Chain A
Amino acid sequence: MKRYPANRLFTAAVALALAATLGACGDEGIEFGTRPENRVRPVAPLLLPDGRPDPVVLAAEQVVRRGNGQEPTTLDPHQATGRPSEHILRDLFEGLTTESAGGQVVPGAALRWNISRDARTYTFYLRRDLVWSNGEPLDATDFVYSLRRAADPTTASSAADTLLPIQNAREVLAGELPVEELGVGLLDDAYTMQITLTGPTPYFLGLLASPVAYPVNRANVEAFGDSFSKPGNLVSNGAFVLTEWTPRTRIVLEKNPNFREAEDTLLERVVYVPTEEQATEVNQFRLGELDWTSEVPSNQFAWLQKNYPEELVVSPWMGSYFFGFNLTREPFENNPSLRMALILAIDREIITDKVTRFGERPSFSLVPPGIDGYVPFVPEYADWTQEERNHEARRLLEQAGYSEENPLRVEIRYNTSGNHKKVALAMASMWKQVLGVHATLVNEEYRVFLQNREQKVLTQVFRAGWISNYNDPYSFLEVFRTGHRGNDYGYSNSTFDALLDEVGTERVRARRERLMFEAERIVMTDNVIIPVYSYVSKRLINPHLRGWQPNILDHHPSRFMYMLRSFDPNALAPAPVEDSAPDGLTELEVLPGEESGSVDEAEIEAAADAPETSEEPPPEEGEPR
């Protein structure tokens, strides 16, 4: 074969041009797309005195298209795990309790409830006018059937651990007791039911708002078996009904006219669009095919912040990102000061500002801030400068017997993912720079990693973290109990375990919080984890879409949402809406859901403190912290 210089020159030129294009669309993103000033704006929201939007500001078509991440695993509420399924199920069903737009627990199918003095027995009084989406009446017998189904071993629900606070749930799940023995039953009539717990569980009302506690229609389940959750078969009791499900394409819900608050539901249709790639979701949003994304990719965060400042919404989420130590192995076994040295030598602000760069908050605690009023334990060194931390770290490392001649060698293990890799690399280089530690990185495919982490044979420092599924700090603490299934650290401290036992029986909120604070202090001063940051939820939202509120659960039921119509600068019609509320978003954040939330909260308290039983302990007994 001859050599073709012209050919090679050409190839090189094209390759160069391509490389330049690619370089230009690196982290800073691409300069294409609609400029912010050219985008269509919504009118300012005009709200009626009751907090609902004035019909004149509403778009003609009340449809929202929500990007939903992965394909949902199932729409059987009792089998569902994972956020994509749960988002959809919250629109389709309603539990005894439910959540307001702001994430507060409010009455759902139950109008009110009493909690016994020992906080172990909950009596629920259901609304009497409830119907299923097919028009059949819905009462407490449906809830009793459903909770039993969820706990039935033959259902094999992987979400059933949520039900474990209920009396006998563990035995029923293990097949040792029949489902009828589950601590759930009718009381006086078909509209009153009682749930007995194994111990006080302050977050139990919140658990009842999760999918595994939703009612399913018995006739429907029995008629269709495993395919009862398919469109056309599924009967539900929430604000929307399922009309279409094309796997990995779309799930369409339509407004349920039989829902108890149907007249307050403004959206006519909700379309959930699954996308495996976060970048694809952003593209669809930019083209106007989505009104809401499930996430945004971290490498586009800075670019989106610049170009979509109004659409990009970031708010705290109840998750912590940290790395763990394997306490059962050298070199970290019985060596808290060595662990402390590694914890101190990490500059968290560099990690969040320069490495991950997606709006996370640097953290020194186990429990993320903002969970149910709890203030996390913050160690002393959080107030030091990084220079002071590094100095102390070097002292501790030396004390542990390591030096330049005898450097510490550690392995950081994580599951394959760009973000984990970046953080692990940053940690390794900080350790190298500050302490002269030789860290090696090992990445593994997710399931392999999970298995190794659980076996505690290979790991030294490993990627950990926890995103809670209920609004209570206990969720983060219980993982560190001796022998807990999530305790991949091999951590065991009898004082800590005893404190958690006390938390499990404490009914007074303030005292319980102090116990949890003390427990968190113990874990943190035992140096079990390397806290890095607390999670935030981050997504793009169409400014026309209103009615949602940022909340730490990151739960956003569609029934509170509505679409504003677009602002037309050429229209001659009077535009009073423009003048009345120039800063639409701030006004909105306070108004619709918040108001209904506070009303409902008053309702709960009224119900809980109902004088007829008056077994309820005073809510704020004990010294405030």
Chain B
Amino acid sequence: MRQESLFHHASSRLLGLVPTLLLLVTISFFLIRVAPGGPFDAEMAAPPEIRANLEAKYHLDEPLLQQYFRYLGEIIAGDFGPSFQYKDWSVNELIARGFPISATIGGLAMVLAFFAGTLIGIFAALRQNRLADHALMGIGMLGISIPNFVIAPLLILGLAIYGGWLPASGWDWSWQRGVLPVVTLALPAIAYIARLTRGSMIEVLHSNYIRTARAKGLPEHLVILRHALKPALLPVISYMGPATAAMITGSVVVERIYSIPGLGSYFVQGALNRDYTLVMGVVVFYGVVIILLNFIVDLVYAGLNPRIRYDEGR
């Protein structure tokens, strides 16, 4: 009964993806075209003959609506078209090469953030208002408020250039090159998750059923692990959906500073260069990833929270 309704819910959510994506494609297609300047502008404008040839090659000479429907047809066939800026590569190839890297770094950063953040949060909650709690939350506040582009150069200086323990930048799938970007990306999330966990843990620990569990004489570690942890993690889980999406689709700042060939830079470079196909490809891809991740979070949330059921109303 519950399985069936979950399936029902899942499939209706997945169907809802289609109009959302169509809206996304339409809005971003016309928005990027409205932006002043074009993909072939340069310090000195190209001669008219050359400009005409370029526009013909990329179909930019057609009426905008015709271009729109041409583009829709292409993405339905799974083809994001050629990149204007990186002429030897198609947008599909660029995404296929960039996404695994961004996803690896972002995924590892999220795993690190989840475990480190919840551990710190629980620890702080158990020592509420004592020195350790204040110290950890103070550091946490710093972690949230110091931006990546400050932390990253400091880490490079300390650990790579001065210490000589890790490479400063670059990417070759070795763990050494992954450490700094993963840590940089994870730090603010660790801090945020720690604060979330601490807050909700304190709240849960004051609730009636925990008092009941303690009154039954259950050892404290079982109270925490068996009864308090699951509900305390709910706000963390709902934070993790969008946060994971943001991380695995690539952080522009972290990718730039560590010179990592992930997906994030394509988004910014594509927009700055008016590389219409690249921007659109990345936007659509992001859209799909974010919608899917939010969907997964919903499912996990239901699994953790006894108060949420998709067969409500039956």
Contacts and interface: CB of A to CB of B under 8 A. Distances in A.
A447 B37 contact: yes
A227 B89 CA distance: 8
Given A81-B42, A277-B256, A10 B138 contact: yes
A153 B56 contact: yes
Interface in A214-233: 226-227, 229-230
A32 B161 contact: yes
A558 interface: no
A486 B139 CA distance: 54
B183 interface: no
Contact of A284 (B37, B150, B169): B169
A425 B220 CA distance: 64
A479 B171 CA distance: 42
Given A153-B53, A485-B45, A7 B172 contact: no
Given A7-B134, A230-B88, A247-B261, A158 B50 contact: yes
Contact of B57 (A156, A229, A274, A283): A156
Contact of B172 (A76, A154, A249): A249
Interface in B138-173: 138-139, 141-142, 146, 150, 153-154, 156-157, 160-162, 164, 167-172
B258 A14 contact: no
A344 B193 CA distance: 59
A384 interface: no
B169 A479 contact: no
Interface stretch (A431-439, A448-456, A533-541, A593-601): A448-456
Contact of A15 (B41, B142, B272): B142
B97 interface: yes
A489 to B, nearest CB: 13
A286 B169 CA distance: 12
Contacts of A15: 142
A452 to B, nearest CB: 8
B37 to A, nearest CB: 3
Nearest to A171: B49
A270 B3 CA distance: 59
Top 4 A-B residue pairs of the complex, sorted by shortest distance between their CB atoms: A447-B37, A248-B261, A156-B57, A74-B87
Interface stretch (A17-25, A119-127, A490-498, A604-612): A17-25
Interface string A558-597: 0000000000000000000000000000000000000000
Interface string B6-49: 00000000000000000000000000000111101111111111
B249 interface: no
A94 B186 CA distance: 48
A276 B82 contact: no
A21 B35 CA distance: 40
6 contacts: A25-B157, A247-B89, A286-B168, A445-B37, A450-B37, A466-B44
A279 interface: yes
Contacts of A164: 47
A170 interface: yes
Name the residue in B135, B257, B259 with the highest tally of chain A Cβ atoms < 10 Å from its Cβ: B259
Interface string A1-40: 0101011101100110010011001000010110000000
Contacts of B44: 466, 479, 485-486
B157 A30 contact: yes
Interface in B253-289: 256-259, 261, 265, 272-274
A14 B138 contact: yes
Contact of B160 (A25, A76, A249, A287): A287
B115 interface: no
Nearest to B139: A14
B208 interface: no
A311 interface: no
A33 B88 contact: no
A6 B36 CA distance: 52
B215 interface: no
Interface residues of A, number: 69
A173 B257 contact: no
B104 to A, nearest CB: 14
A174 B51 CA distance: 10
Given A154-B53, A289-B168, 19 more contacts: A4-B129, A8-B138, A14-B142, A15-B142, A18-B142, A25-B157, A32-B161, A156-B50, A158-B42, A227-B88, A247-B89, A247-B261, A248-B98, A276-B256, A287-B168, A289-B167, A447-B35, A450-B42, A450-B45
A452 B37 CA distance: 9
Contacts of A246: 97, 261
A445 B160 contact: no
Which residue, of B38, B53, B97, has the highest number of chain A Cβ atoms within 10 A?
A: B53
Given A21-B154, A247-B94, A485-B45, A11 B87 contact: no
A71 B88 CA distance: 12
B94 to A, nearest CB: 7
A71 B273 CA distance: 13
A161 B46 contact: yes
B38 to A, nearest CB: 7
A284 B45 CA distance: 35
A158 B134 contact: no
A33 B85 CA distance: 37
A381 interface: no
A157 interface: yes
Contacts of A226: 82, 88
Contact of A79 (B35, B87, B139, B273): B87
A170 B137 CA distance: 68
B300 interface: no
A318 interface: no
Nearest to B265: A276
Contacts of A18: 142, 146, 150
A312 B123 CA distance: 51
Contacts of B139: 14
A275 interface: yes
A446 B40 CA distance: 12
A287 B167 contact: yes
A273 interface: yes
A440 interface: no
Interface string B111-144: 0000000000000000001010011011101100
B88 A229 contact: yes
B296 interface: no
